[in-house]
Chains A and B, each alone.
Chain A
Amino acid sequence: MQLNEPKAILFNKLYEKDVCIRCILRLFKITENNLYRETQGFIQLLVDIGKLIGNENKLVEEYDFLYYKRKSEIIDYDILPQTCHSTLKDQFIKNPFHTFDKINKCLICHGILQCLDDQKFLAILVNEIYQRQYQYEAFKFQVKTPIGCQIRQIMILNQCITEIGLNDPFYEQIITPNFAIDIKNCVKWIMCSLLSEQLKVPCDINDDRFQICLNFENIGDDVKQFEQFKQIIQDIDDKMWEEKIAKKLKMNDPQLKEEINNKLLQKKNLQSQPFLPTQNNLEKISKLNQTQLSQFKIINVNYPVKLEVTTSYQNIFIKGNYIKLGRYISQTPWFINGNRIYADSIEDLVSAEACKIFKPSSLKFHSGGREDIDVRMLGNGRPFAIELVDPHCGLQIQTQEILNQIESNINSQKVVKVTPLQYTDTNIFEELKNSEINKVKAYCCIVECKNIVNGDLIQQANQIKDLIIKQKTPIRVLHRRTQMVRDKIIHSLLIKQINEKWLLVYVLSSAGTYIKEFIHSDLDRTVPNLCTLLQNECDIYQLDVMKLYEKIDEDVIINFKNLDTEYGSKI
């Protein structure tokens, strides 16, 4: 940065107003990183500025005094997590980590930039990360800062420039929005190398796997800073809208009157709503000019800044097909009023080993459709994927051996088996959805008829191809599904007689067909159904999903017709 007298005057003014050195440097858009970290660099800068404003060492002396005063305060006080201000208590669910209210706060950044290289703070931060026990080889660093700081920045700059009273091109430049360097970037410049030293791994912005996020928050202060702008922003918005309308009014549009009435009503409602600290509102405020801004002042509040440290590791996806050999096992854990209904679930059985190895924070189970709890899933199995969320041991090389280990562990159980597993990524969701909607399924069920069955009708039924059935939402799910009629297709049937009144029925149908209702007609709410086809009253006793096919074609039908020999008779 080229120093000249107007810049020096502004620098001095800001400093006297209690803005920290790092904030002033970033307001002036100084990009030499070392100035932010070492005192030698900017002591020289202070000397240079002192020369220009005619008081060579005063600035340096003042800075030295304040710096050492602050340093001793930091060492003397024991920095421990403080309890929140009572009205903010509800706003923090996770661990409030550290408060900065014991140190002289910069007017703009609230002390965020002042305490970053403090040894004690760093030690607590590193300890927090170690305690969470992650494995990683690099980290990506993210920062979030309170939005109220921007308002304070705009206001203090405006105030200083008005008080100095000079017209300088640099002054006009410095108050344009987005000129100054963001607080977040400063935090990263300072913290990345410090953390990297302590954690002994490099900081890499391109490595998405392990992320550390420092979330600085001060909601109470944000709200207070934005509140005072409510009226003026509303007035500006109204004016703009009136100008728009004025043009249209000349055309005498009747619809317009309704629009105007609606807007007036909206305005009444808006008056009771608070002016929230959002990015949108911030942009509106930054468009205000100098005279408009000068009527407002910075509101000093004593809400402390809270820091929340979050760490996360990239999710791991594993996919495969599962086979369910038993009944009364739900797909995912089933609770009613806090009570577990069935002890086992496919989710638990399939993911137990993977969780032990990778240690995720939580688990998500995704599948391509599901079957009823009393129905078995046989054949080539149903596609599923488990998502290990935030795996603490995710670093270990994701090898086939680990997958084989997981697979053999699952297959050693009796009730659930899986096909060879694979690693995958978020593309799996599309595949699973596709499977649920498009796949054709073959079922086998045991059916009892009220009257003696008619062999000719069975022959006829076995010749069916692509019969369209209309199913109303079955009564057993009507309490949680939309009431509607669904068109489904029965591609083929294979009925074998066990004795006079008992049948073994194989059904090949489109995805989403309610098979039980096709068999017993659900009080004639599914038509046509097996009862009408066989002109008998039928009821179903057991159902198994035999196989999933990609789509319907001749080969599939031939394969289907031979299913009974493929699996052997059940009796």
Chain B
Amino acid sequence: MQQIEEQQQQQGQDQDDDLMIPLNVQARLGEFTDRYFVKSYSEHQYVFQHSNRLYLCGLNKNHPIVKSDSDIKEIEFTQKEQLVKGKKKKGGLKVKSNTVMLKVHLENGEVYEVLAGQDGYIIEMNENLQKNKQYLKQYPETKGFVCIIQGCRK
């Protein structure tokens, strides 16, 4: 086994050459969402499509909630929660891209409606928004996503 380990070491390093890690670069190489996702933006929201054809939806940087100085006071989930079962994700709520998923109340009294952004079935609403409301504002394109949608079968 000793010999095999040494061989592994050498071969490991040979293989690493194609995945060269630039050790001196200061700038960030990329976000998690840059891998595998195809990004598309509308005026205030985004839809990121994963290579496995699931959609990640949420607010983009230009949304007034994100731009506003005021913090988020309350997030109201306007749709009833429906549990999804099994590998085929049966039982998900069917939505259209303009279905209202959230009503967001800011400290300064403004209220905004957040749309689903994509036709299909809701697989998951972001539960972290219930405890960490500010994610929606601080990390709208990563941790503060709104929902994950499975497209309709054609």
Contact = CB atoms under 8 A, between A and B. Distances in A.
21 contacts: A325-B8, A326-B11, A327-B15, A417-B4, A448-B29, A450-B28, A476-B36, A476-B50, A478-B123, A478-B148, A479-B53, A483-B123, A501-B26, A523-B126, A525-B128, A539-B29, A541-B19, A542-B19, A542-B21, A544-B12, A568-B9
A506 to B, nearest CB: 15
B21 A502 contact: yes
B84 A478 contact: no
A526 to B, nearest CB: 11
Given A325-B15, A326-B15, A541-B21, A478 B54 contact: yes
A471 B5 CA distance: 33
A131 interface: no
B6 to A, nearest CB: 9
A477 to B, nearest CB: 8
A416 to B, nearest CB: 12
B134 interface: no
Contacts of B8: 323, 325, 378, 567
Contacts of A501: 26
Contacts of B9: 567-568
B54 A446 contact: no
Interface residues of A, number: 40
A356 interface: no
A502 B23 contact: yes
B86 interface: yes
Contact of A480 (B84, B87, B123, B145): B87
B13 interface: yes
Interface in A494-535: 498-499, 501-502, 520-525
A524 B128 contact: yes
A522 B142 CA distance: 9
B53 A376 contact: no
Contact of B32 (A472, A539, A542): A539
Given A478-B54, A523-B142, A524-B143, A498 B124 contact: no
A478 B52 contact: yes
A477 B54 CA distance: 10
A570 B13 contact: yes
B150 A479 contact: yes
A522 B30 CA distance: 14
A325 B87 contact: no
A380 B2 CA distance: 11
Nearest to B123: A483
A225 B21 CA distance: 75
Contacts of B73: none
Interface in A377-419: 378, 380, 414, 417
A376, A482, A523 — which one has the most chain B CB atoms within 10 A of its CB?
A523
A483 B124 contact: yes
A414 B56 CA distance: 40
Given A472-B124, A522-B32, A523-B32, 12 more contacts: A325-B12, A380-B1, A450-B28, A475-B148, A478-B54, A479-B52, A523-B145, A525-B128, A539-B30, A542-B16, A567-B5, A570-B12
A477 B9 CA distance: 31
A244 interface: no
Contacts of B32: 520, 522-523, 539
Contacts of B12: 325, 376, 378, 544, 570
B11 to A, nearest CB: 5
A475 B13 contact: no
Contacts of B148: 475, 478
A327 B12 CA distance: 10
Contacts of A542: 16, 19, 21
Contacts of A481: 87
Nearest to B37: A475
A544 B16 CA distance: 12
A117 B28 CA distance: 83
Interface in B41-83: 50, 52-54, 56
B89 interface: yes
Given A502-B23, A568-B9, A475 B15 contact: no
B139 to A, nearest CB: 9
Nearest to A327: B15
A501 B27 CA distance: 10
Given A376-B12, A502-B23, A479 B54 contact: yes
A566 B1 CA distance: 12
Contact of B54 (A327, A475, A525, A566): A475
Q: Which 10 A-B pairs have the closest CB atoms?
A: A479-B52, A524-B143, A520-B32, A483-B84, A524-B128, A325-B11, A482-B87, A523-B143, A479-B54, A523-B142
Given A480-B87, A483-B84, A414 B52 contact: no
